[in-house]
Chains A and B, each alone.
Chain A
Amino acid sequence: MSKEQRHRHEKRKLLFFWLINNNLISGTQNAYTSERKALLVCNTEIFEVLSRVVKMVHEHLLTNVTREPVSEELPGDFAMWLFILMELTVFAIFFISFATMQNLYPAIFGTGKSSLHPVAGLICTLALITSSYFVALAGIRLRQGNESRCSLFLAAALMAATVYLITKFSEYSQLIQAGYDLSTNTFYTLYFFITFFHLMHVVLGMVILGYMLHRTRQGAYATGEHSGFESGASYWHMVDLVWIILFPIIYVIH
């Protein structure tokens, strides 16, 4: 490890201790107690493990996601990317509002989250990730000129998206039967509003995927003009990206 790397490592370590100590022992104003010493030793070990994990992930990303020659154009239509940016901004405001309200009303949010089923959230996540993967594979096959395989992957993506829809509606149905709705409290208002808003995007995305499937079967992309396909695929990946952030906020962090 070079001097500069060691210096950076020490800086990260100090920052880590500051973060941890401000959270773990913010209420302990006593001078150096034995508990505090033990906690610092424990934190040192946690920090070393975490640094190794971060280093491994970083190395993995550097070796596996290396930059390829930069293209002049975006995949898909420029207008679609502006629309994606707009949608992401709206969702970011929802997410930050949800986190802020969770901080203001921890008891209401704690009780609300315990009424949700994490397995339902997990199924939705796996379904959307898999659907996005199938759309990516469909794009690869289309660029290779294999339209029949492209259609097959688009159909598989639609099926995975249907699993998400069924799970989400069954979760809504269970909550409504248990007596929870939009007006129950702040948690349920935000929960129903944000997840339903996302669900509407999934439905729109499925309509777009269905149209892409129809066009592929018609041979409309055989000419090599894939802009429309790439726009639709980018929209679908945006829907997945939003859920990737939404899932931990609602189901994981408690």
Chain B
Amino acid sequence: MSALTIKATNSWLILISLTLLSLAVSEWVENPAMMILFVVLAVIIKGRSIVDIFMGLNTAPVVWRRLLLSYVIVVPAIIGAVIVWL
């Protein structure tokens, strides 16, 4: 198994685990702020995994990688902030 395949498989496992964990946290954690904080963090990690590993922007020009990474950080953070504080 090549190094790239191992990286892609690890990313896939992280994505699956975080998806299941987010759903479990939404059922078990009663504090809405904590639940949203966890879900937003999970989305950011998942987004980073897709951008860097699946899309292959890990080796792309820095501007494009930063652009996509800022999207997966800023958009979930705004959504979380809007739901909790607006």
Smallest beta-carbon distance B42→chain A, Å: 8
Q: Give me 8 other A-B pairs in contact (C-beta within 8 A), A65-B49, A70-B61, A95-B75 excluded.
A: A71-B60, A99-B79, A99-B86, A125-B19, A133-B11, A133-B15, A136-B53, A244-B47
> Which residues in B have their C-beta under 8 angstroms from that of A20?
33-34
Q: How far is the CA of A20 from the CA of B38 in the complex (A)?
A: 13
> Which residues in A have their C-beta under 8 angstroms from that of B76?
245
Q: Closest 8 A-B residue pairs measured CB to CB?
A: A23-B33, A133-B12, A99-B82, A99-B79, A252-B26, A136-B54, A136-B8, A75-B56
Is A30 interfacial (CB 8 A cutoff)?
A: no
Q: How would you classify the secondary structure of chain B's contact residues: helix, strand, loop or mixed?
A: helix
Q: Considering only CB atoms and an 8 Å cut-off, how many residues of chain B contact the other chain? A: 58
24 sampled A-B residue pairs with Cβ under 8 A: A23-B31, A57-B41, A65-B52, A67-B58, A68-B59, A71-B59, A71-B60, A92-B71, A96-B82, A122-B19, A122-B20, A126-B16, A130-B12, A132-B54, A133-B8, A133-B54, A137-B8, A237-B50, A245-B76, A252-B23, A252-B26, A252-B39, A253-B35, A253-B83
Smallest beta-carbon distance B54→chain A, Å: 5
Q: Mark A140-175, 1 if CB is under 8 A from B, else 0.
A: 100010000000000000000000000000000000
In the complex the two chains form, is A72's CB within 8 Å of B16's CB? Answer: no
In the complex the two chains form, is A140's CB within 8 Å of B78's CB? Answer: no
Q: Mark A239-254, 1 if CB is under 8 A from B, else 0.
A: 0110011011101111
Is A64 interfacial (CB 8 A cutoff)?
A: yes
Q: How far is the CA of A132 from the CA of B70 in the complex (A)?
A: 21
Is A102 interfacial (CB 8 A cutoff)?
A: yes
In the complex the two chains form, is A100's CB within 8 Å of B46's CB? Answer: no
Q: Kindly report which residue of chain B lies nearest to residue A132, judged by CB atoms.
A: B54
Smallest beta-carbon distance A146→chain B, Å: 11
Partner among A54, A102, A245, A247 whose Cβ is within 8 Å of the Cβ of B75: A245
In the complex the two chains form, is B55's CB within 8 Å of A57's CB? Answer: no
Smallest beta-carbon distance B22→chain A, Å: 5
> Which residues in A have their C-beta under 8 angstroms from that of B4?
140
> Which residues in B have their C-beta under 8 angstroms from that of A244?
15, 43, 46-47, 50
> Which residues in B have their C-beta under 8 angstroms from that of A238?
55
Q: Kindly report which residue of chain A lies nearest to residue B60, judged by CB atoms.
A: A74
Q: Mark A11-25, 1 if CB is under 8 A from B, else 0.
A: 000000001101110
Is A179 interfacial (CB 8 A cutoff)?
A: no
In the complex the two chains form, is B39's CB within 8 Å of A253's CB? Answer: yes
Partner among B8, B12, B36 whose Cβ is within 8 Å of the Cβ of A140: B8
Give the residues from 93 to 120 in chain A that come closer than 8 angstroms, CB to CB, to chain B.
95-96, 99-100, 102-103, 118
> Which residues in B have their C-beta under 8 angstroms from that of A75?
55-57, 60
Given the known A-B contacts A102-B83, A245-B75, A253-B36, are A126 and B19 also in contact in the complex, defined by CB atoms under 8 Å?
yes
Q: How far is the CA of A242 from the CA of B15 in the complex (A)?
A: 14
> Which residues in A have their C-beta under 8 angstroms from that of B46?
244
Q: How far is the CA of A254 from the CA of B33 in the complex (A)?
A: 11
> Which residues in B have their C-beta under 8 angstroms from that of A69?
59
